[in-house]
C-alpha cells in the first residue's frame, strides 16, 4: 500500500467510503454517511538553539454514521482494511438499533449536495527534511534573540508542516475528496530587565510555505513584542474605550458566531437568542462568508455533510441575516442548513466608511486601553457577560504611552458588539475569521 498522502490516494479512500456505505445498506440502514482520511506531518521545536522535539505524525481513519429511520449510530476506526471497515459499520448499526428516534436526525437533503468542485488551491506540500525544519526554527529564534541583549531567554521556536487527504460520501450518491496542506512557524521569547520578565510570541500560518512570513522576521517580531512589554504596570479601575488587536478581535467575533450557531439557538443558550433580522453590530459593519477563496485556511467546496458551500452576507448594515446551521440544528429550528456543518468558511469582517489604520485608531480613541493579550475563560455564552484578564498598552493623547498588565476588562458581549465604533485596516488572515482591530466604547477596566 502506498505511503504517500496526496490526491493519488483519493480513489483508494473513495473505495473505503463506498464499501462502508454498501455495508450499511446491506445491514438494513435507511441512510448512511462515511468520512475517510489520511494525514501526515512533521513538527520540530528548538529552544535556545537546541533541538527539543522532532515528531512525525501519520494517521488514518474512517468514521461512519448510520440511520435506521431517525435512529442514529456512529463508530470510527483507524484501520482501513475491509474487515475493519465491516466491523465498524456493524458497531454503528448495533448502536443505532438501541438509540431513541429523533425526528431531526438524518442526512442533509439530497438537493443540497455539492455538485461543483472548483480548485481552491489548498494543496501545497513542503518537501522539508527534519534538518531543514530545525535550521528554519533555529534561524527564527536566533534572529529574535539577536535583536536586543535583554532578550536572554526563549520558550522556543516551532515549525509544523501537515498534509492530508479526505473523502466524504453518503447514500444520496454524493462522494468527493480533496488533499490539503497547512504549514506554520512560531516563536516565543522572554525579555528581562532587572527583575522584570515579560514574554510574547508571533507566528505565521499558510497553505503554501511560500506564503509564510520569513523565519527571521517572525523571530524579530516576537522579540519586539516581548521588549515592548517591559516595564508593564497596573492602572486604576475606570471606564474607557478598549482597542482590541486583530487577533484579539477575532475572539470577539468568534463569541458572536458561537451565539448564532444552531445548537446555541435551539438549546435556548445564547445571548443573541432569536436575533435573526435584528441589529447586532453597528450599522457600518459587514460580515461576509467567502468559502471559495483560493489558498485560504477555511475554504471548502462542501461542509461536513456534503452540502455545497456558498457565499453569504451574514451581517449587513449591522443586522444579522440568519444563523450558522448544519442540517440537524436547522431542522430543530424549522429552517434549512446554511452549509456550516463543521464550522464557518472564511468570514470577512469589514466596515466601509469606518475603517482606519492603526495610528488613526489610536488618534480617534485618544485615551484608552490597547489589548494585545487576553487570559482566562470568563465568557458566559448564555448571558453574554464578559470578564477576562488582559495586558497591553495604555493609550494617551492618541499614542501608546506605556505597557500595562494584571488588569481585567469587563462588559456584556451584546453591548460590546453594538458599541464597536471603529474597525482597523490591519486585517489578520491567520484563521477562519479575517478581521482587523476593533475599538469598543465604554468598557470597565479593573486594576488597582
DSSP 294-329: TT-TT--SB-TTSBBP--EEEEETTEE---B--HHH
Q: Are residues 218 and 279 in the same domain?
A: no
Number of domains in the chain: 2
Grid coordinates representing 61? 481513519
- 211: in domain: yes
Query: What is the pTM assigned to this prediction?
Result: 0.94
pLDDT value of residue 217:
98
- 358: in domain: yes
Q: What is the mean pLDDT of each run of 10 residues along the chain (448 residues)?
A: 79 97 97 98 97 96 97 97 97 96 97 97 96 98 97 97 98 97 98 96 98 98 98 95 97 97 97 97 97 98 98 97 98 98 97 93 96 93 97 97 97 97 96 97 93
In whole angstroms, what is the distance from residue 96 CA to residue 73 CA? Answer: 4
In whole angstroms, what is the distance from residue 106 CA to residue 337 CA? Answer: 12
DSSP assignment letter at 108: P
In whole angstroms, what is the distance from residue 23 CA to residue 67 CA? Answer: 13
Task: Report the alpha-carbon angle 253-258-263, nearest 5.
Answer: 160
In whole angstroms, what is the distance from residue 414 CA to residue 383 CA? Answer: 9
Q: Are residues 202 and 245 in the same domain?
A: no
Q: Are residues 276 and 213 in the same domain?
A: no
Q: Are residues 335 and 373 in the same domain?
A: yes
- 233: in domain: no
Q: Are residues 345 and 298 in the same domain?
A: yes
- 1: in domain: no
Grid coordinates representing 48? 535556545
Q: Are residues 188 and 329 in the same domain?
A: no
CATH number for position 57 = 3.30.2290.10
Grid coordinates representing 401? 504611552
Phi, psi dihedrals of residue 30, rounded to the nearest 5°: -80, -20
- The range of the structural domain enclosing residue 283 comes to 238-446
- 2: in domain: no
pLDDT value of residue 2:
55
Q: Are residues 173 and 262 in the same domain?
A: no
Q: Are residues 304 and 253 in the same domain?
A: yes
- 342: in domain: yes
- 107: in domain: yes
Grid coordinates representing 217? 522576521
Q: Are residues 60 and 142 in the same domain?
A: yes
pLDDT value of residue 1:
44
DSSP assignment letter at 107: P
Last residue of a domain, one of 205, 228, 251: 228
Q: Are residues 23 and 102 in the same domain?
A: yes
Last residue of a domain, one of 200, 228, 256: 228
- 71: in domain: yes
Q: Are residues 20 and 104 in the same domain?
A: yes
Q: Are residues 211 and 153 in the same domain?
A: yes
Last residue of a domain, one of 185, 207, 228: 228
Amino acid at each position: 500500500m502506498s505511503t504517500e498522502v496526496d490526491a493519488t490516494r483519493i480513489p483508494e479512500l473513495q473505495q473505503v467510503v463506498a464499501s462502508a456505505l454498501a455495508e450499511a445498506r446491506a445491514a438494513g440502514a435507511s441512510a448512511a454517511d462515511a468520512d475517510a482520511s489520511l494525514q501526515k506531518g512533521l513538527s520540530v521545536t528548538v529552544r535556545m538553539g537546541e533541538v527539543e522535539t522532532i515528531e512525525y505524525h501519520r494517521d488514518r481513519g474512517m468514521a461512519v454514521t448510520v440511520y435506521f429511520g431517525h435512529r442514529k449510530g456512529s463508530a470510527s476506526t483507524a484501520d482501513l482494511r475491509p474487515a475493519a471497515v465491516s466491523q465498524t459499520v456493524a458497531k454503528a448499526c448495533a448502536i443505532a438499533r438501541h438509540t431513541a428516534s429523533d425526528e431531526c436526525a438524518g442526512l442533509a437533503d439530497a438537493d443540497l449536495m455539492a455538485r461543483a468542485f472548483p480548485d481552491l488551491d489548498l494543496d501545497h506540500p513542503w518537501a522539508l527534511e527534519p534538518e531543514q525544519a530545525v535550521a528554519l526554527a533555529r534561524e527564527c529564534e536566533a534572529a529574535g534573540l539577536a535583536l536586543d541583549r535583554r532578550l536572554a531567554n526563549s520558550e522556543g521556536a516551532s515549525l509544523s508542516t501537515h498534509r492530508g487527504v479526505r473523502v466524504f460520501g453518503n447514500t444520496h450518491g454524493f462522494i468527493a475528496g480533496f488533499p490539503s496542506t497547512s504549514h506554520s512557524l512560531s516563536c516565543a521569547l522572554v525579555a528581562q530587565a532587572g527583575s522584570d520578565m515579560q514574554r510574547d510570541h508571533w507566528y505565521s500560518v499558510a497553505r503554501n510555505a511560500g506564503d509564510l512570513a520569513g523565519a527571521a522576521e517572525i523571530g524579530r517580531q516576537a522579540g519586539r513584542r516581548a521588549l515592548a512589554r517591559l516595564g508593564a504596570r497596573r492602572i486604576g479601575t475606570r471606564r474607557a474605550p478598549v482597542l482590541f488587536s486583530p487577533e484579539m478581535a477575532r475572539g470577539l467575533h468568534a463569541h458572536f458566531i458561537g451565539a448564532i450557531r444552531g445548537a446555541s439557538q435551539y438549546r435556548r443558550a445564547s445571548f443573541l437568542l432569536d436575533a435573526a433580522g435584528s441589529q447586532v453590530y453597528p450599522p457600518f459593519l459587514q460580515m461576509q462568508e467567502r468559502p471559495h477563496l483560493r489558498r485560504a485556511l477555511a475554504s471548502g467546496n462542501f461542509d461536513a455533510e456534503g452540502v455545497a458551500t456558498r457565499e453569504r452576507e451574514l451581517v449587513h448594515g449591522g443586522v444579522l441575516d440568519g444563523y450558522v446551521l448544519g442540517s440537524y440544528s436547522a431542522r430543530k429550528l424549522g429552517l434549512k442548513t446554511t452549509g456550516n456543518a463543521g464550522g464557518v468558511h472564511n468570514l470577512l469582517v469589514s466596515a466601509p466608511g469606518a475603517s482606519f489604520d492603526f495610528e488613526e485608531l489610536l488618534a480617534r480613541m485618544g485615551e484608552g486601553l490597547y489589548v494585545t493579550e487576553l487570559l482566562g475563560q470568563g465568557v458566559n455564552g448564555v448571558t453574554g457577560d464578559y470578564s477576562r484578564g488582559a495586558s497591553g498598552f495604555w493609550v494617551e493623547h492618541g499614542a501608546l504611552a506605556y505597557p500595562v498588565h494584571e488588569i481585567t476588562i469587563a462588559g456584556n458581549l451584546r453591548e460590546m458588539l453594538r458599541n464597536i465604533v471603529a474597525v482597523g485596516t490591519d486585517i489578520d488572515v491567520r484563521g477562519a475569521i479575517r478581521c482587523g482591530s476593533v475599538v469598543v466604547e465604554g468598557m470597565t477596566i479593573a486594576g488597582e
